[in-house]
């Protein structure tokens, strides 16, 4: 690893205080480029770098690596290192509306669960919990019993290491209590597997896939979509989801606009009129 790259990683971890995951992502992207091209990143020319990055067909992956490169050279420029490479433009990625489930679809999936065992109660409670809180699956799986206080949830293991507190619907809290009361294992983690140890991401995926046909993250989208279409303020939704930037939350405004259009199409007296 070049000394310039080491300086950059120290800068983002100490001065910028980025999360350990973010620093690891930068290090992975940039050190791999140095290794594959066999020279310090600061001495690369545009053609070499673009030739390497052209191997990535996934635009999101490509943009992440380009962002890492741009951040590195911006740092070098500010530190008066010998860097003459200009910034690269990111690939345009079409904005896709996030997939989500309606409340009725979620209810239909919940009706399939056999709640006669503690495992069934767990599956039922987990789905309700994800939909009621909008928590990321990684946040849910790190949840301890003390993180639930009444009808409030304290998310301590959030993305970017930013804690937040969100409310839990009463019906979800009742389902969680029923599951925990039936649980035959003692474990500080709320969500456990059949052996009594912490539930894995793969197991959580299998649960939501079995009953709803989607990944756990779709329940997070469903939570946000329900709030937005119900009239919730965008900044409130941003806070509940734990988004660092409002730009991330704004994708749901497209759903809100679509919902408004459909409402007008259905209820406006001129919907079927021709002038």
Active site (catalytic) residues? 136, 159, 217, 220, 243, 252
Query: Which of 250, 245, 204 shows the shortest CA–CA distance to 224?
Result: 250
Nearest-angstrom CA–CA distance, 258 and 265? 11
Cα 190 to Cα 142: distance, rounded to the nearest angstrom = 8
Q: What is the pTM assigned to this prediction?
A: 0.63
**Residue 153: which H helix or E strand, with range?**
strand 152-155
On the question of pLDDT at 54 being above 80, the answer is: no
Cα separations in angstroms, 188 against 93, 116, 180, 199: 42, 23, 11, 12
Q: What is the pLDDT of residues 190-229, one digit of tens each?
A: 999 999 999 999 999 999 999 999 999 999 999 998 898 8
Q: How confident is the model at residue 93 (pLDDT cuts 50, 70, 90)?
A: very low
Contact by Cβ (8 Å): 196, 187: yes
Q: At what angle do helices 103-110 and 216-229 cross, to 10 degrees?
A: 140
Residues 141 and 200: beta-carbon distance below 8 Å: yes
**Coil vs helix vs strand at 117:** coil
Residue 25 tokens read as 């992502």
Distance, in Å, from the CA atom of 34 to the CA atom of 5, rounded to the nearest integer, reads 9
What pLDDT, on a 0 to 100 scale, did the predictor assign at position 171?
95
**Cα separation, 172 vs 151, whole angstroms:** 9
Taking alpha carbons only, the member of 106, 107, 100 closest to residue 258 is 100
When mean pLDDT is compared across 28-42, 118-132, 164-178, 219-233, the lowest value belongs to: 28-42
């Amino acid at each position: 690893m070049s000394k310039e790259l080491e300086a950059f990683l120290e800068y983002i971890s100490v001065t910028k205080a980025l999360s350990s995951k973010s620093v690891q992502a930068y290090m992975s992207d940039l050190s791999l480029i140095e290794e594959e091209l066999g020279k310090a990143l600061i001495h690369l020319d545009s053609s070499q770098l673009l030739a390497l990055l052209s191997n990535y067909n996934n635009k999101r992956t490509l943009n992440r690596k380009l962002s890492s490169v741009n951040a590195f050279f911006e740092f070098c420029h500010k530190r008066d290192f010998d860097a003459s490479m200009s910034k690269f433009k990111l690939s345009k990625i079409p904005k896709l509306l996030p997939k989500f489930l309606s409340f009725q679809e979620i209810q239909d999936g919940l009706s399939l669960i056999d709640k006669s065992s503690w495992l069934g109660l767990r599956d039922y409670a987990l789905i309700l919990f994800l939909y009621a809180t909008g928590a990321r699956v990684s946040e849910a799986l790190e949840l301890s019993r003390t993180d639930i206080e009444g009808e409030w949830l304290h998310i301590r293991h959030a993305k970017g290491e930013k804690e937040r507190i969100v409310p839990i619907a009463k019906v979800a809290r009742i389902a969680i209590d029923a599951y925990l009361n039936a649980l035959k294992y003692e474990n500080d983690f709320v969500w456990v597997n059949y052996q009594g140890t912490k539930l894995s991401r793969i197991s959580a995926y299998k649960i939501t896939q079995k009953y709803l046909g989607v990944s756990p993250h779709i329940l997070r989208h469903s939570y946000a979509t329900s709030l937005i279409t119900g009239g919730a303020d965008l900044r409130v939704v941003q806070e509940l989801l734990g988004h660092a930037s409002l730009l991330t939350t704004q994708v749901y405004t497209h759903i809100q606009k679509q919902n408004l259009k459909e409402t007008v199409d259905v209820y406006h007296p001129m919907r079927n009129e021709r002038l």
